[in-house]
Structure 1
Amino acid sequence: MTTLGVRIRDSHLAITSMQELVRLAERKGYTSVWLPESPGREVFTELTALAMSSERIRIGTGIVPVFARLPTVAAAAMNTAATLAPGRVILGLGIGHRPAMEGGHGVAFAKPFQHTREFAAIARQLLREGEISYTGDIYQIKQFQFDAPPPQPVPVFLAALRPQMLQLAGAVADGVLMNWASPDYIPEAIAHVRQGAEAAGRHPDEVEIACYLRTCVTDQPDVVEAACRAQLARYGSMTYYQKYFERIGFADEATAMAQAWQRGDREAAIAAVTLPMIQATTIYGSAETCRQRLQAYREAGLQHPIIAPFPIGEPIQETFVRTIEGCMAAD
């Protein structure tokens, strides 16, 4: 069976539209659906709605920022969803970004790496055993217990870009969720995950390797490139992504974007994104071309590619449907 996921999120997609897309993905043979959290859209509620409108497909949060929840509360929310869709839900966690956490949520963005390590460890134990006592630098939990543990253990995935977080995912999570990766970066990323697993006394095969891949089935590549250029520029305003883009071979672009955003010059940031950067990090073109590119990622070692359709100026539902249908080869 071909493992292929789809990221479903856009501000113009109502929950009813998302339910239709999940049912389409399930009919086409996709194995997972992933939901980022955005302002005003609570991800566990959406996940539960999608789980109840589908039958087989796995549904994951991709991601829940660790500073916006308590680990006990996040685990309890996922435990509730797991009772409705046993064996089908995944808790995806990540650090998030300082401006969104401090400016948007009003919480201190302190010790992000340690915070993520402890949050993941607490949530994972609760979602396997249903109870925990824990003493860490961030959390001290005397005793917390679910009324009933999940019917099946719920996997915990950790968002990661660079070596330290990739190694942490290998040490404490059931999977890693990458973003904006080029095929060339996949083997390096996997090596870091394996290193983290082995250092923690785990077998590296216990950690599933997944990645969001911006994807669009289209006969208008210039339109896609313009849309993708703006997306990459937006990510280039964030410190973590600036450093990440440098690491995967786009240091000049990352520097130019950072300098442009420091001046408040959005257009210059967009102009700093080059065509090679777009082509390395985005899948677009005919359905056959997109499937070939997905296969290249698999051959590089990616176990769980997750297509992430994105707006290109047409009704977003059309983009999702065409891309979901095109990227899964007919039996």
Structure 2
Amino acid sequence: MGTLGVRLRDSRLGLPAMRDLLHLAEQRGYDSVWLPESVGRESVTELTALALSSERIRLGTGIVPVFTRLPTMAAAALATTATVAPGRVILGVGIGHRDHQEAGHGIHFHRPIQHVREFVTIARRLLTEGHIASYAGEVYTIEHFQLDTPPPQPVPVYIAALRPQMLRLAGAVADGVLMNWATLEYIPQAIEYVRQGAEAAGRSLRDIQIACYLRTCVTDNPEHVERESRTQIARYGSMVYYREYFASIGFAAEATALEQAWQQGDAAAAARAVTPAMIRTLTIYGSAEVCRQRLQAYREAGLQLPIIAPFPIGEPIQETFARTIAECA
């Protein structure tokens, strides 16, 4: 198979189940496992536990929100994890979801692009060199910071990005970009934004790995997947960032309907606003052969690392994840 990663996240998946799915992915030849972080669930501890339970597969945070961490301590945490999984750890960071971060953590969400730029610059330097003598930015000022346990090998830093500004920033300062909900048609344009950022910073596109979460489900019951996909797309449509993205890829009417529904706090209306065309465009589902063909199409469009995000349909959840992981390989 081509290079493939898997995203493991569902509130009903505990660490034992995640460990079993990790072992399956490793056995099936997956490149990497990625752990998102929610307002109430922390990912670095889970990442370390899985690192201790694996031998070959890479492990990434996908992603840690920059407003909930200091870049120095994020680097220290990943450096510690890297001591038990040298050369296998990735720090994925991003801005997260504003409403969730501000309400859930009581933090002030401001100047996101500059925050990410400085956070990644600091963390990447620490995870490469192990120390910073001096750093003076607009957000952070650091003097004489040294990691007690530098990573055995440099830890790459990826930026979660979807829109032009953040994609260009990833090209300028990161080792990789991690997209979410990107369509097959959008991939070449997204890569062009990354290239622009890289070249403006005197770098090459070859310096940055292009990765993306792709909602995927191998299933005999497409109606179940469509229902879950509709729910997930509607939930993301509560955030202006994603509504703007949906509008930019041809779903302007749906984005407007989603905005109106969420202004009324009407989740059912938001779900109804998600059209079959959106589901077909944003979701990979069907037989194993169909799913593998669509993943390959993404690779041919320029995506270097497709990361399947299995849908939590049916019970037990672990089995639905396992089938998709096994049959997409």
TM-score by length of 1: 0.98
Distance in 1 separating the partners of 2:221 and 2:149 = 52
**How far does the alpha carbon of each residue in 1:288-330 deviate from its partner, in whole angstroms, 9 at most, with x for none?**
00000000100110000000002123321111110001101xx
**How far does the alpha carbon of each residue in 1:190-239 deviate from its partner, in whole angstroms, 9 at most, with x for none?**
00000000000001100000000000000111110011000000000011
**How far does the alpha carbon of each residue in 1:250-297 deviate from its partner, in whole angstroms, 9 at most, with x for none?**
111111101100011111100000111111111000000000000010
Where do 4+ consecutive residues of structure 1 move more than 4 Å?
A: none
Check the 8 A contact 2:7/2:33 in 1, yes or no.
Answer: yes
Partner residue of 1:312?
A: 313
Partner residue of 2:26?
A: 26
Partner residue of 1:4?
A: 4
Give SS of 1:267's match. helix
Distance in 1 separating the partners of 2:52 and 2:149 = 20
Give SS of 1:84's match. coil
**How far does the alpha carbon of each residue in 1:84-103 deviate from its partner, in whole angstroms, 9 at most, with x for none?**
10000000000012211211
Distance in 2 separating the partners of 1:213 and 1:278 = 12
Query: What is the root-mean-square deviation in Å for CA atoms of aligned residues?
Result: 0.9
Distance in 2 separating the partners of 1:209 and 1:66 = 20
Partner residue of 1:71?
A: 71
Q: Counterparts of 1:155-304 in structure 2 under 5 Å?
A: 155-304=156-305
Give SS of 2:185's match. helix
Distance in 2 separating the partners of 1:318 and 1:275 = 26
Give SS of 2:153's match. coil
Distance in 1 separating the partners of 2:104 and 2:47 = 22
The structural deviation recorded for 1:5 is 0.1
The structural deviation recorded for 1:49 is 0.4
Listed as ranges, the gaps of 5+ residues in structure 1 are none
Q: Counterparts of 1:52-91 in structure 2 under 5 Å?
A: 52-91=52-91
Distance in 2 separating the partners of 1:42 and 1:267 = 29
Distance in 2 separating the partners of 1:271 and 1:285 = 22
**How far does the alpha carbon of each residue in 1:62-120 deviate from its partner, in whole angstroms, 9 at most, with x for none?**
00000000000100000000011000000000001221121110111111111111001
Give SS of 1:184's match. coil
Q: Which amino acid aligns with 2:76?
A: A
Distance in 2 separating the partners of 1:223 and 1:149 = 46
2:47 pairs with 1:47: yes
Tell me the matched-pair count: 328
Give SS of 1:142's match. strand
Distance in 1 separating the partners of 2:243 and 2:315 = 29
**Higher mean Cα deviation, 37-46 or 163-172?**
37-46
Partner residue of 2:112?
A: 112
Listed as ranges, the gaps of 5+ residues in structure 2 are none
Distance in 2 separating the partners of 1:324 and 1:86 = 25
Distance in 2 separating the partners of 1:37 and 1:310 = 17
Give SS of 2:312's match. coil
Q: Which amino acid aligns with 1:242?
A: R
Check the 8 A contact 2:39/2:105 in 1, yes or no.
Answer: no
2:105 pairs with 1:92: no
Distance in 2 separating the partners of 1:316 and 1:276 = 26
